[in-house]
Amino acid sequence: MTRLFGTDGVRGLANAALTAELALDLSVAAAHVLADRGEFAGHRPVAVVGRDTRISGQFLEAAVVAGLASAGVDVLLLGVLPTPGVAYLTGKLGADLGVMLSASHNPMPDNGIKFLARGGLKLDDAIEVAIEKRMREEWQRPTGGAVGRVSPYADAVTDYASHLVAATPEPLRGLKVVLDCANGAASEVGPQALRDAGAEVIAIHADPDGLNINDNCGSTHLESLQAAVLEHGADAGFALDGDADRCLAVCHEGHVVDGDQILAVLALAMRDEGTLVKDTVVATVMSNLGFVHAMKGAGVGVRQTKVGDRYVLEAMRISGYNLGGEQSGHVILSDHATTGDGILTALKVLQRMAATGTSLKQLAGVMTRLPQVLVNVADVDKSRTDEDAVLAAAVAEEEAALGDSGRILLRPSGTEALVRVMVEAPTHDLAHDVAHRLADVVKAQLAL
C-alpha cells in the first residue's frame, strides 16, 4: 500500500486525491490510535484545528471536525492561523492533538492535513503508520454525551501574536518593513505581530479570497516584495509562504537574503547573546558551502542532516540544539517554537538589526554564497547512485580538482526515477561545467 503520509503530512489535490471522506477517516483513525496509546486517559480528549486560506480548507475542516467529534474528541476551532500558531496553541491549551489544514507553498488547488502531538510536536513516523492501518476499521461509536463538542476559540490570533512579541524583547521602533503574507494564513497575524513589536509595517498580498494563496506572491515569488521594498524605502522585506512556517528576506537594496543567510545572521546573534546551545547550528546537506565556511570562521559548529525540516528538527531534539534551518527559509528557533516559524524568524532578524544598528545587507554579508548549480537527471536507476564505480571515480576526480573551494552532492529523488547533481564552485561557469559533466556520467551509467 502506498503511504499516505509524506514528509509533511498528507497532501494532494483537494477534492480529488484529498477528499472529505479521506479527511474524516484519517481523523477517526488518529483519535483511535492516540486513545489506544493512553493519550486520552483520565480526561475528555481535546483537539485544536486550524487552516490556511484555501477555499478547500472549509470543507476539509468540516470533515476533520466531524471525524474527531464522532470519535469522542472535543474540538476547538482556531480558524485561519499559521502552522506554527497551531503548534503553539496545541501546547498552550494542553490539547491532545493539533490539526493543520494546509499545503504550505503549494498552489491553491492542493491542500494537506498535518497532525501534531501533544505539545505541538510532529507525530512520530510509527504513529502515522498506525493511523494508516486503522483507517476504515469497524468501531464502536460513542453516543449521547460521549460525542465530542465543537467550539470556536476566538483568541487564537491574539494569543499567537502575543507569544511572538514576547519572544522579541528588543523594540523594533524605527524599522520600516514590507511583509508579503502570500494571501495565506499569516495575512492577519503577521502584520499584527510585527506592528505590536514596534515596526512600521507595509503588508502586501494580505487580502486572501480563498483562491489567491501563493499566487505570484510569497516566498516562491519574491519579485513584488523586492519592488515594494524599493518603492517604500523599507529597511527590509520578508516573504512568508501559505502557512507561514518559512520566510525569505530582501535587504533595503532589493537583494534576496535566503535561508542560509538568515540562519547565519541568527546563529551569530545567538552566539553573541550566549544563547546558542553548544555554539552549534543545524543545517542540511544542501546548505551553501559559503554558509559552512562562514560559521567555521566565526567559531560556530555546523551539524548537517538530510534535506527536510523534519530531519533538522530531529537532530535538534536529539542533541539539544536550539537553532536550525534550511536554505528554503524554514528556520527553527526551538526556544520559542516546535516548528519552523516565518513570522518569528522575521522578528528575530529585525531584532538583530535593531540591536546592532546594522542593515540586513551588512548582516547577511557575513557569508559569501558560492555559485550553486543543480541538474536533475531523469529516467535513471537512482538505487545505484552510490554503487557505480565509474560514477564514483568521476565524482572523486572532480572533487579533487575543486579541493576546499567547492562541493559536489548527488541526491537520489525520494519519489521519482531521478538523481539530482548539485555542484558549488568559486564561479558559476565552473559549477555549471562540473555539474553537467557529472550529469552526463549519471545518465550514461545509471540509464534504465
Residues in CB range of 100: below 8 A, 6 or more apart: 9, 49, 50, 51, 83, 86, 87, 113, 114, 116, 243
pLDDT in tens, 25-59: 999 999 999 999 999 999 999 999 999 999 999 99
User: Of 180, 336, 322, 307, which is closest to residue 250 (Cα–Cα)?
Assistant: 180
pLDDT in tens, 168-213: 988 898 999 999 999 999 999 999 999 999 999 999 999 999 999 9
For residues 347, 351, 357, 358, the Cα torsion angle rounded to the nearest 10 degrees is -60
SS3 250: strand
| Full-model pTM | 0.92
Over range 220-232, report the average pLDDT: 97
SS3 303: strand
CA-based torsion, 287, 290, 295, 299: positive or negative: positive
Annotated catalytic residue 405:
no
pLDDT at 341: 97
CA distances from 281 to 104, 249, 308 (A): 25, 20, 15
Q: How many CB atoms lie within 10 A of CB 135?
A: 15
Alpha helices, DSSP H only, in 243-385? 259-273, 289-297, 309-319, 342-356, 360-364
SS3 110: strand
Catalytic residue among 27, 102, 104, 187: 104
As a whole-number percent, the residues of the chain with pLDDT over 70 amount to 99
- pLDDT-derived band at 3 (thresholds 50, 70, 90) equals confident
Largest CA distance in the chain: 73
| Order of all β-strands in the sheet with 110-116 | 10-13, 110-116, 97-101, 46-51, 74-80, 150-152
pLDDT in tens, 126-160: 999 999 999 999 999 999 999 999 999 999 999 99
- Continuous segment of H or E residues that includes residue 376: strand 372-378
User: Of 248, 230, 228, 246, which is closest to residue 238 (Cα–Cα)?
Assistant: 248
